[in-house]
Amino acid sequence: MNSRRNFISLVSFLGVSTLLLKGNTYQKIISNNEKILPKVLKKGNKVAVTAPAGAVWDVKQINVFSDILKNFGFEVVLGNSLNLKYGYFAGTDEQRANELNSFFKDKTIDAIFCMKGGWGCARILDLIDYENIKQNPKVLIGFSDITSLLIAITHKTGLITFHGPVGNSGWNEFTSTVFKNICVDGQAITYPENPLSENKINIIKHGIATGELLGGNLTVLTSMIGSNYLPDFKNKILFLEEAKEEPYSIDRMLTQLKLAGVFDNVNAILFGKCNKCVAEEPEKAFTTEQVFEQHFSNLKIPVVTNLMIGHIENKITLPIGALATIDTKQGILKLNNKVVNLN
């Protein structure tokens, strides 16, 4: 009953739908960049698990996640990086990048799952073979530090990547169902509006907007500003999430985005649940909600907070690079085009 309630409460306002189109051609999505759709996942597919960032210190999590993937019906290949330790990294930059490159090149592997975040993906962006990825598109999923990897790959290759759970973040019924509906079943899905208090989003600015989904962890995305791995923000729907950052820190990063002109270019802003983002001395600080109001209340685009993404138990999977439409009045966020290739 609880899992069903959690599923219905996906986003007090959120609806996601996928328009499934026929044909082998790549889909252009409201930008000059041609988007590449990874193949839909099926039972019997071979999938790889890698650690492109932080070291995996709890090895039990590897077996737990492997079993989860096997229960989906996948054949699982575990990367060597899962057992490597190099300071706080899962191996050297070269080892982590080479493994990711090899998994993309391996035509028997249909998807790549990231075991955990931490820190390290930005250090391997210069070592990624983007042409290899373009020629061998497949599902790549993760979040947190994986943000930089997802954004860079989508920007450099056009491949739609997936901001979703990592191996050690939990795959409960809700989270697994959302992932399966999008990447495995390839359904056109819409979640009903049935708000529950714990998952009710906060609408700061009402409106309707369409654009490419772009985003991830606030700290990671902000650290990419000025690099050539971050695309133009024009006509994007920016989604962000954060955890364990004090309000002043979130304020600082949002200010950086504002000064960089990001808020002047995006068509909408969606902020996830801010997990443990509280001030150490609350009597001397703003709340996170007050920071959001200060930065977003005067914008002329749709802005919502408390979306079910990020460092939380029940989370949705969002495809980076996919065209989406948000309508705060109807309470929906829908994907306007297919995000996996059904052929």
Catalytic residue among 12, 144, 169, 176: 144
297 is known as an active-site residue: no
Q: How many CB atoms lie within 10 A of CB 85?
A: 12
Q: Is residue 253 a contact partner of residue 221, using CB atoms and an 8 Å limit?
A: no
Helix/strand number for the chain, H first, E second: 10, 15
According to DSSP, the β-strands at 268-275 and 236-243 are parallel
Confirm if 17 and 335 have CB atoms less than 8 A apart: yes
Q: How many CB atoms lie within 10 A of CB 154?
A: 26
Q: Hey, how many other C-beta atoms are within 10 angstroms of the C-beta on 283?
A: 5
Helix, strand, or coil here: 272? strand
Q: Which two tokens stand for residue 220?
A: 């990671």
CB 315 within 8 A of CB 308: yes
Please say whether the beta carbons of 332 and 15 come within 8 A.
Answer: yes
Task: Give me the helices (H) in the chain, please.
Answer: 2-8, 60-71, 93-105, 130-135, 147-157, 173-179, 218-223, 247-259, 262-265, 288-296
User: What distance in Å separates the CA atoms of residue 25 and residue 338, rounded to the nearest whole number?
Assistant: 12
Q: ∠ at Cα 291 (289, 294), nearest 5°? A: 110
Q: Could you confirm whether 144 is annotated as catalytic? A: yes
Cα–Cα distance measured from residue 337 to residue 20, given in angstroms and rounded to the nearest whole number: 7
For residue 162, the Cα-to-chain-centroid distance in whole angstroms is 5
Active site residue 311: yes
Catalytic residue chosen out of the listed positions 99, 241, 242, 245: 241
Q: So which residues are the catalytic ones? A: 144, 241, 311
